[in-house]
Structure 1
Amino acid sequence: MGTWDIGPFENDTAADFAYTLDETVPDERENLIRRALVRTVRARDYLDSPEAVEAVAAAALVAAQCPEGEPITTSYGPDRALPLLADDLRTLAAEALDRVLAEESELAELWDETVDGPRWRQSIDRLRAILDPRTGPQEDPLFEI
């Protein structure tokens, strides 16, 4: 896997996913995103890195359309505009990110072996919080007044 930074499109697999999105007819782009997310959520055994990388990229595209989301500005992301994505993709994208961070995820294992692993996990956590703000950082009950 050619990876040059922690961003969702800063690796070869995600850049290829973006290219495929650009080459897909506009009416099918949402389905391509949905399939990447569903494939990851449904993975019951070991989740291979390419599937996880595509899920992270797809989740970033969904998050970009959320109120707190950041637009995808990297030149490695899709060049063509996406349609307004269905609201149910937010939940699906959050579930896919949970699976990417879970045990038996090659992508998480690969990042955990690097010095940038904690930064990568934080970036995934930020995406997750945008997709489902209810799961943001919890207060520590020991410090409640």
Structure 2
Amino acid sequence: MGAWDVGPFDNDTAADWCGDLQDADASQRPVLIRRALATVVDEQGYLDSDLACEAIAAAAIVAAQRGGPPITSAYAPEFLRAGGGVEVPDDVVALAVRALDRVAGDDSEWRELWEEADADGRAAAAFAPIRDALTR
């Protein structure tokens, strides 16, 4: 059975991405986070929801490293749930904000799917604390 909910880790795509992050060497984790965010920012035209889900999870991890909402989801990487961290360069914070704005903007399948489910307000509210933490 698949997972699909508004939390940043609460869907199959984000959970799979988090599994890859968990399995990656610690030195490669910042690279994977940056790549997930940059892919969304650089995407021209219609944004696929899978890319959006990965970017939201990456942004949530960046925010948590900056004092944002704690990572407690069972689908998040275990090393983060256990209190570990990941070194996130300062420029990735601005990239995470841009990625979240792209996900919530026009030409985003993620936004359209939540609108069709009549839950776009709930979905946007779920990642608002993440964006807030990134812009403090």
TM-score (norm 2): 0.91
Is 2:65–2:85's contact at 8 Å kept on the other side of the alignment? no
Q: Which secondary structure state, in structure 1, belongs to the residue aligned with residue 39 of structure 2? A: helix
Point out the structure with the larger helix share: 2
| CA-based RMSD | 1.5
Aligned-partner Cα distance in 2 for 1:50–1:64: 21
Q: Which secondary structure state, in structure 2, belongs to the residue aligned with residue 115 of structure 1? A: coil
What is aligned with 1:72?
71
State which of 90, 94, 104 in structure 2 corresponds to 1:91.
Answer: 94
Aligned-partner Cα distance in 2 for 1:21–1:4: 20
Aligned-partner Cα distance in 2 for 1:77–1:83: 13
Structure 2 residues without counterparts, runs of 5 or longer: none
What is aligned with 1:13?
13
Pair member with larger Rg? 1
Q: Which secondary structure state, in structure 2, belongs to the residue aligned with residue 85 of structure 1? A: coil
Which string of whole-angstrom CA distances, capped at 9 and with x for unpartnered residues, describes residues 78-125 of structure 1? Answer: 012332211211100000000001100000100111132211112222
Is 1:29–1:82's contact at 8 Å kept on the other side of the alignment? no
Aligned-partner Cα distance in 2 for 1:50–1:77: 16
What is aligned with 2:45?
45
Q: How far did 1:52 drift?
A: 0.4
Q: After superposing the two structures, state which structure 1 stretch, 92-101 or 119-128, moved more.
A: 119-128
TM-score (norm 1): 0.86
Which residues of 2 match residues 108-119 of structure 1 at below 5 A? 108-119=111-122
Is 2:65–2:86's contact at 8 Å kept on the other side of the alignment? no
Q: How many residues align?
A: 132
RCO comparison, higher one (Cα < 8 Å, 6+): 2
Aligned-partner Cα distance in 2 for 1:43–1:64: 25
Aligned-partner Cα distance in 1 for 2:119–2:107: 19
What is aligned with 1:136?
none
Which amino acid in 1 is paired with 2:75? Y
Aligned-partner Cα distance in 1 for 2:48–2:90: 27
